[in-house]
Chain A
Amino acid sequence: MEGIPPDDVLVARLRSGEESAFALVLDSWSGGMLRLARSFVSTEESAAEVVQETWLAVIEGIDRFEGRSSLKTWIYRILTNQAKRRGVREHKVVPLSSIQTGSSADDSGPTVDPARFRPPGDPYPGHWWEFPASWPTPEQGLLGGEARVLLSQALVELPERQRAVIVLRDVEGYSSDEVCDLLEISPGNQRVLLHRARAFLRGKLEEYYEEAKP
Chain B
Amino acid sequence: MTDLDCQQFVEQVTAFLEGGLDPAEEQRFVDHLALCDGCDRYLDQVRQTVHALRELPAEALSPENRQALLNTFRAKH
Tell me whether A17 and B77 are in contact in the complex, defined as CB-CB below 8 angstroms, given that A31-B58, A205-B49 are known contacts.
yes
Q: Which residues of the partner chain B approach A202 to less than 8 Å between Cβ atoms?
A: 42, 45-46, 49
Residues of B within 8 A of A111 (CB): 10-11
Residues 44-75 of chain B, each 1 if its beta carbon lies under 8 Å from chain A, else 0: 01101110111111111110011011101110
Does A128 reach chain B (CB closer than 8 Å)? yes
Q: Which residues of B contact A88 (CB under 8 A)?
A: none
Cβ-defined contact, A26 with B49, below 8 A: no
**Once the chains bind, are B52 and A205 in contact (CB under 8 Å)?**
yes
Contact A22 B73 (CB under 8 A): yes
Whether, in the assembled complex, B14 has its beta carbon less than 8 Å from a beta carbon of chain A, the answer is yes
Dominant secondary structure at the A interface: helix
What residues of chain A lie closer than 8 Å to B41, measured between beta carbons? 131-132, 134
> How many residues on B have C-beta within 8 angstroms of the other chain's C-beta atoms?
43
Among B49, B50, B77, find the residue whose CB has the most chain A CB atoms closer than 10 A: B49
Per the bound structure, the CA–CA distance linking A48 and B60 in Å amounts to 9
The docked-state distance in angstroms from the alpha carbon of A130 to that of B55 is 30
Asked whether A198 lies within 8 Å of B61 as measured between CB atoms, the reply is no
Distance A34 CA – B61 CA, assembled complex (angstroms): 8
Whether A4 sits at the interface, judged by CB under 8 Å, is no
Q: How far is the CA of A16 from the CA of B14 in the complex (A)?
A: 45
- Measured CB to CB, the closest approach of chain B to A77, in angstroms, equals 19
Contact of B7 among A30, A59, A112, A201 (CB under 8 A): A112
- Assuming the contacts A127-B6, A198-B46, asked whether A17 and B76 have C-beta atoms less than 8 A apart, the reply is yes
In the bound complex, CA of A143 to CA of B57 (Å): 12
Stretch at the interface among A64-72, A78-86, A97-105, A146-154: A146-154
Q: Mark A126-150, 1 if CB is under 8 A from B, else 0.
A: 1110111011000000110001100
| In the complex, chain B residues whose CB is within 8 Å of the CB of A176 | 18
Complex interface: chain B residues within 8 A of A142 (CB):
48, 52
CB neighbours of A5 from chain B (8 A): none
Contacts of A17 in B (CB 8 A): 73-74, 76-77
- Taking Cβ atoms with an 8 Å cutoff, the residues of B that contact A are 5-8, 10-11, 13-15, 18, 20, 36-39, 41-42, 45-46, 48-50, 52-62, 65-66, 68-70, 72-74, 76-77
- Counting from the closest, the 7 A-B pairs by CB-CB distance are A17-B77, A126-B5, A31-B58, A131-B38, A195-B14, A170-B53, A126-B7
Residues of chain A touching chain B, judged by Cβ–Cβ distance below 8 Å, are 16-17, 19, 22-23, 26-27, 30-32, 34-35, 48, 51-52, 55-56, 59-60, 110-112, 114, 117, 124-128, 130-132, 134-135, 142-143, 147-148, 151-152, 166, 170-171, 173, 176, 191, 194-195, 198-199, 201-202, 205-206
